[in-house]
Structure 1
Amino acid sequence: MKGPYPEIQGGGSLILAWQIRNKRVLVVGGGEVAAGRIVNVLNADAKITVVSPREGLNDEVAYRIEQKQVDYVDRKFEPSDLDGVDMVLTAVDDPEASSQIYKLCKEKRIAANIADVPPECDFYFGSVHRDGPLQIMVSTNGNGPKLANIVRRQIAAGLPHNIGAAVQRVGMLRKKLRKVAPNIDEGPKRMQWMSRVCEQYSLDDLCSMTEEDMEMLLGFYKPGTVPSLEEVRLQEADGAYDGPFLI
């Protein structure tokens, strides 16, 4: 009998936005796959150490090293490289060496991704669409990276052109709201009010909101009302406006 709650579908991954800012990430290898991993991790503001013989570096990895975007060790992996590391990414054409690194990571309880070996991955890299603060990831749980890329492009093609800017403005408004209502017990009301703003305002409205608009809009938080952007700007232009939305 079908229950009232979502049915469980095993075999998936828990997709998270993993905050690794200022964490130490070890990348073993210096080829094309390593280059892609490095970009992903640098975009997350982590600190990277690359371990690879110099003759194995591709042009992009060599560039990252030259620009001092990553720390570099010119040799093959050694177990001591795991000291002080929060995450390990391997991208070398040596299955035996990769498996050994994974076993060491398991012993030290360090999250690891072994390129092209799904059973030896604590997490997977998906295909990511990025537009400012907006990130959308498509994962096939290691079954078809190329297909994930195709699906991601189709999703991105259907998104409004200004979605990233709208997300950025909502983030600014939320930060301002936390200053207006900082108490923990205000949490549910903050979430409900922000939800109403996102539902009632179009993406164009959100993108065009100025800081002055936001400050005026926040004046409606306490009574729990959400006027239109037009009404907000009317009040900005005429302090004597006494329409039904005025506080």
Structure 2
Amino acid sequence: MSVLSKNNNLTEDSIVGNQLFPVFLKLNELKVLLVGAGNIGLEKLNALISNSPKTQITIVADNFLPEVVDLAGQYSQIKTCYRKFEPADLEDKDIVVLATGNNTLNAEIRALARERHLLINVADKPELCDFYLGSIVKKGDLKIGISTNGKSPTIAKRLKEVFQENLPEELDISLRQMNQLRNTLNGDFAYKVNALNKATAILVTPETEQEASRKMRWILWSAGFAGLALIVALFWFNDPEFRNYMEGLPPTFYYFLIAGFVLAMIDGAIGMSYGVTSTTFSLSMGIPPASASTAVHVSEILSNGIAGWMHFRMKNVNMRLFWLLMIPGVIGAMIGAFLLTNLEEYNHVTKPIVSLYTLILGVVILLKAFKVTRKHIGAKIKNIRFLGFGGGFIDAVGGGGWGSIVLSSLIAGGRNARYSLGTVKLSRFFIALMSSLTFLTLLNDVYWEAIMGLVIGSALASPIAARLSNKISVKAIMMAVGMIVIIVSLKTIVSTLINFI
């Protein structure tokens, strides 16, 4: 017995849920009539054109919104008719979309369309529609249609935003690669399905990527910490010269050791601020700007190298974006480091400038704590190289800012957060490495006690911070950090101005 014959006894009341049958129309090969050219008409036109740019559309309306005229003028196949609707407008059409807001006219056109067996959509009138223009998520060749059965376009819109944000742009690359793989397969349908299942099995894992990343980072840092402790212990008990050297270290080393530990703990808890807090602390300790930036960047090499490698291993890195960022970023960082070291003798001028930069970042941290900033998804940044160069330059001059400048710009421009973070972390390793080498090569006086204090202190804190990040108040820490950075930066600026006067 067929499925149809089994279901013949179903009544309308016994059918529940969305009964719509989803289809994807080749609108490029169909002719569409759009009646109405106001705000609703503009919305419908945008939906049609954004999904099928070559659709032949005839727009009929006695009043046209300027935006509709501008949009229609960009496509030669769109025809505009400045008049009221006429029954002859339905001739040679395949689909009708009504955006008039006139219920009487809508009912009249619907009746005429039914006589001609044309499918019709009436804005905000689900009961008059033969089909709905659902929310569409588009990522290259991937297209997802969302329908709420006409009950809540707002919910459909919100779901679209969620999918649009979380589905990576690189998914289109995966589709093309899977299509290439599919075209190389020989055999029957079952064989092809099994082969494709094996190829996509990597996408489904029992633990999330974030959990795996945290676990691996914890293992690496723990092993590094244990190894460092063992080496220090061996030298301490077996080498009197090493013990005498350690006992003779200046107090500055221990100050920076403690600062590196505390600041890395803060960075691990809130995911930001190590660069700005380390630079602010270094300046407050009397370290010149170039030496302060050197200490920060050297201490970040190891942490960013491990983080970048982990993201690369978890396939969170967009390699094309990486090269576009890394090469100009390294160039910008080296130029910034070169300029800052050559101005080392003028640190009475550069110091308040860098403090002004840290002051601005402190305000940004404080605003983030109060969630004053709003999420904005704008047009994608086209000039990635310029972003990388500027971010690298400012990062070297100001002692930090690569992540806050580059990462926030990429995400605000609509790029996938996971791929942006992985790419920025990996490129950050090379930025820190090359700027550190530039500083160390050009500086005459290197504050090794500050550098080693930050390196060892941050290394000791990293595995602990990873574990404590979920158990403390992020907002409270961000507020405290923001206030401290602002106060210390202001103190440096004011002191410089007083001395100048």
Measured against the shorter chain, the TM-score band is 0.5 to 0.7
Secondary structure, aligned partner of 1:17? coil
- Rounded to whole Å, the distance in 2 between the matches of 1:57 and 1:32 is 9
Quick one: which of 86, 101, 106 aligns to 1:78?
86
Gaps of 5+ in 1: 1-6, 209-247
Displacement of 1:200 after TM fit? 4.5
Gaps of 5+ in 2: 1-13, 205-313, 320-501
Output the aligned Cα RMSD. Answer: 2.8
Give me the TM-score of the superposition, normalised by structure 1. Answer: 0.68
1:158 alignment counterpart: 166
Secondary structure, aligned partner of 2:37? coil
- Rounded to whole Å, the distance in 1 between the matches of 2:193 and 2:68 is 43
Do structure 1's residue 97 and structure 2's residue 99 form an aligned pair? no
66-75 vs 136-145, which moves further: 66-75
Displacement of 1:97 after TM fit? 0.3
Give the structure with higher Rg (CA): 2
Alignment of 1:177-196 (within 5 A): 177=184, 186-196=188-198
1:143 alignment counterpart: 151
- Rounded to whole Å, the distance in 1 between the matches of 2:65 and 2:167 is 34
Do structure 1's residue 199 and structure 2's residue 201 form an aligned pair? yes
Secondary structure, aligned partner of 1:124? coil
Secondary structure, aligned partner of 1:35? helix
1:64 alignment counterpart: 71
Displacement of 1:204 after TM fit? 5.0
Displacement of 1:191 after TM fit? 4.0
Do structure 1's residue 16 and structure 2's residue 16 form an aligned pair? no
> Is the 8 Å Cα contact of residues 138 and 164 (structure 2) preserved in structure 1?
no
Quick one: which of 37, 52, 57 aligns to 1:48?
57
CA distance change for structure 1 residues 166 and 60 in 2, over 3 Å: closer, same or farther?
Answer: farther
- Rounded to whole Å, the distance in 1 between the matches of 2:203 and 2:137 is 24
Deviations 1:83-128 (A, max 9, x none): 1111000100211001111111111111110111100001111122
Displacement of 1:24 after TM fit? 0.4
CA distance change for structure 1 residues 192 and 61 in 2, over 3 Å: closer, same or farther?
Answer: farther
Identity of aligned residues (%): 26
42-51 vs 115-124, which moves further: 42-51
Quick one: which of 127, 132, 150 aligns to 1:124?
132
Q: Which of structures 1 and 2 has the larger relative contact order (alpha carbons within 8 angstroms, sep 6+)? A: 2
> Is the 8 Å Cα contact of residues 28 and 34 (structure 1) preserved in structure 2?
yes
- Rounded to whole Å, the distance in 2 between the matches of 1:133 and 1:37 is 22
118-127 vs 10-19, which moves further: 10-19
2:34 alignment counterpart: 27
- Rounded to whole Å, the distance in 1 between the matches of 2:167 and 2:66 is 33
> Is the 8 Å Cα contact of residues 52 and 74 (structure 1) preserved in structure 2?
yes
Secondary structure, aligned partner of 2:47? helix
- Rounded to whole Å, the distance in 2 between the matches of 1:50 and 1:113 is 14
- Rounded to whole Å, the distance in 1 between the matches of 2:131 and 2:77 is 24
Displacement of 1:69 after TM fit? 4.6
Larger helix percent? 2
> Is the 8 Å Cα contact of residues 139 and 169 (structure 2) preserved in structure 1?
no
- Rounded to whole Å, the distance in 2 between the matches of 1:134 and 1:140 is 20
Secondary structure, aligned partner of 1:123? coil
- Rounded to whole Å, the distance in 2 between the matches of 1:34 and 1:173 is 42
Stretches of 4+ moved more than 6 A in 1? none
Q: Which amino acid aligns with 1:194?
A: L
> Is the 8 Å Cα contact of residues 24 and 46 (structure 1) preserved in structure 2?
yes
Deviations 1:179-222 (A, max 9, x none): x75xxx844444443343233479959x98xxxxxxxxxxxxxx
Displacement of 1:145 after TM fit? 0.7
- Rounded to whole Å, the distance in 1 between the matches of 2:109 and 2:191 is 48
Secondary structure, aligned partner of 1:135? strand
CA distance change for structure 1 residues 85 and 173 in 2, over 3 Å: closer, same or farther?
Answer: farther
Secondary structure, aligned partner of 2:59? strand
Larger strand percent? 1
Secondary structure, aligned partner of 1:29? strand
Deviations 1:139-184 (A, max 9, x none): 111111112111222233333452233223333444x44xx75xxx
Quick one: which of 109, 112, 122 aligns to 1:114?
122
- Rounded to whole Å, the distance in 2 between the matches of 1:102 and 1:159 is 38
Displacement of 1:12 after TM fit? 2.9
Secondary structure, aligned partner of 2:96? strand
